[in-house]
Amino acid sequence: MSILRIRTFVLLTSLFFLFITENRAQFTTYKTGTLLIDTEGDPVNAHGAGMLYHKGKYYLYGEIKKGTTWLVPDQSWECYRVPASGISVYSSEDLVKWKNEGIALAPTSGNPSSDLDTGNVLERPKVLYNSNTKKFVMWLHIDSKTYSYARAGVAISDSPTGPFTYLSSMRPNGNMARDLTVFQDEDQKAYLFYASEDNKTMQICLLSEDYLSPTTRYKRILIDQHREAPAVFKHQNRYYLITSGTTGWSPNKASYAVADSIFDNWVIKGNPCKGKHADLTFFSQSTFVLTVIGKQNTYLFLADRWDKTNLANSTYVWLPLKMKGQEPVIRWRKRWHIPDN
């Protein structure tokens, strides 16, 4: 080959690789363990988040963490708090570009006896769409600053972006409710999963047909296992529940449980996270598993990397969850993007 040909070859090869890299860069979405940036260039503020897919768009709902973190005195555990600043909502068509849609559920101030008072706790919002009532229903953990109130709150809206109208809070069937999530089955029945009984045992409660209240049908699961941060998904007709241990804002080992039907026995299997730092869920805590539309074996695992002494500084760990047969597997990836997962 002549020198000229070699030069041309090298030039074309470099251009080709530059093109590939540039294109990938455009699509690269998740720098795991960092803040997500919205379409305005601001950090996404949506912690303890949940997602809803509705009419071609994904909606992300989360706790707004801002302000100074303080330690509630005289507690037997590290009760770090920021003022409850309400629930944010973002929308995206591709899970990549997130548009800030504002505050879905606003807090109130000056009345500590109001559930939504900034002095209380508003955590882990999850939203469902009820196709019969055509309403969007939000469930969230409502608590006092010492976490002794232990209730599930419910709010309703005509639009996925809110504003949501707060209805009430309750202890389902008289049982405590802290970390929670919701799950809507293919038959449109919806269930509330919540850490109960002083976080020792989890419970699942069937929601009413309008999704606005708990029914009397409920089951105790993971009895005396001390699990929280529930995230539920369904794969090939089996139900999977990922939870964390109960170490407050500090990371611990996740585990998953499986059931053949919602009110069946949930069998604890083990840690879905694999590899380095898997025992600390890659320094994060589960909050949601998204069924990505159009993907067969891949789900999106959403977790929070809490910064307990500066909660507003907390970031996100979003990773692909892949099904290897009947086993969910989550591996650390520093940088990845959804189309390639």
Q: Minimum distance from CB of 148 to ligand GAL (Å)? A: 12
- What lies within 8 Å, CB to CB, of 221 at 6+ separation is 201, 202, 203, 204, 241, 257, 265, 266
* 70 in contact with ligand GAL (CB under 6 A): no
Whole-number Å distance between alpha carbons of 256 and 243: 6
**Amino acid letter for position 253:** K
Long-range contact set of residues 190-196: C-beta below 8 Å, sequence gap at least 24: 190/128, 190/130, 191/232, 191/262, 192/139, 192/152, 193/230, 193/232, 193/241, 194/141, 194/152, 194/230, 195/227, 195/228, 195/230, 195/246, 196/220
Nearer to ligand GAL, 115 or 179 (CB): 179
Nearer to ligand GAL, 124 or 337 (CB): 124
Q: Which of 179, 193, 211, 305 binds ligand GAL (CB under 6 A)?
A: 179
**Cα 87 to chain centroid, rounded:** 13
Q: Minimum distance from CB of 311 to ligand GAL (Å)? A: 9
Q: Minimum distance from CB of 179 to ligand GAL (Å)? A: 5
Q: Which of 45, 48, 211, 241 binds ligand GAL (CB under 6 A)?
A: 48
Q: Minimum distance from CB of 105 to ligand GAL (Å)? A: 16
Question: What are the angstrom distances between the C-alpha of 155 and each of 165, 190, 322?
Answer: 5, 15, 33
Nearer to ligand GAL, 127 or 206 (CB): 127
* 229 in contact with ligand GAL (CB under 6 A): yes
Contact pattern from residue 231 through residue 250 relative to ligand GAL, giving x for each residue in contact according to CB under 6 A and a dash for the rest: ---------------x-xx-
Q: Burial letters for 279-288: b for 16+ Cβ neighbours within 10 Å, e otherwise? A: ebbbebbbbb
Whole-number Å distance between alpha carbons of 96 and 37: 10
The site for ligand GAL, by CB under 6 A, has a size of 10
* 123 in contact with ligand GAL (CB under 6 A): yes
Q: Minimum distance from CB of 79 to ligand GAL (Å)? A: 6
Nearer to ligand GAL, 115 or 123 (CB): 123
Q: Minimum distance from CB of 109 to ligand GAL (Å)? A: 21
User: Among 247, 254, 251, which residue's Cα sits nearest to residue 222?
Assistant: 254
* 302 in contact with ligand GAL (CB under 6 A): no
- What lies within 8 Å, CB to CB, of 104 at 6+ separation is 61, 86, 87, 88, 89, 125, 127, 138, 157, 161, 162, 163, 164
Q: Minimum distance from CB of 243 to ligand GAL (Å)? A: 10
Q: Minimal CB distance to ligand GAL: which residue? A: 248
Whole-number Å distance between alpha carbons of 231 and 141: 14
* 162 in contact with ligand GAL (CB under 6 A): no
Nearer to ligand GAL, 62 or 160 (CB): 62
Nearer to ligand GAL, 53 or 249 (CB): 249
Nearer to ligand GAL, 154 or 338 (CB): 154
User: Among 47, 45, 185, which residue's Cα sits nearest to residue 123?
Assistant: 47
Please list every residue from 268 through 287 that binds ligand GAL, using CB under 6 A: 285
* 228 in contact with ligand GAL (CB under 6 A): yes
Q: Minimum distance from CB of 78 to ligand GAL (Å)? A: 7
β-sheet with 135-143: strand ranges across: 121-130, 135-143, 151-157, 165-170
Interface ranges with ligand GAL (CB under 6 A): 48, 123-124, 179, 228-229, 246, 248-249, 285
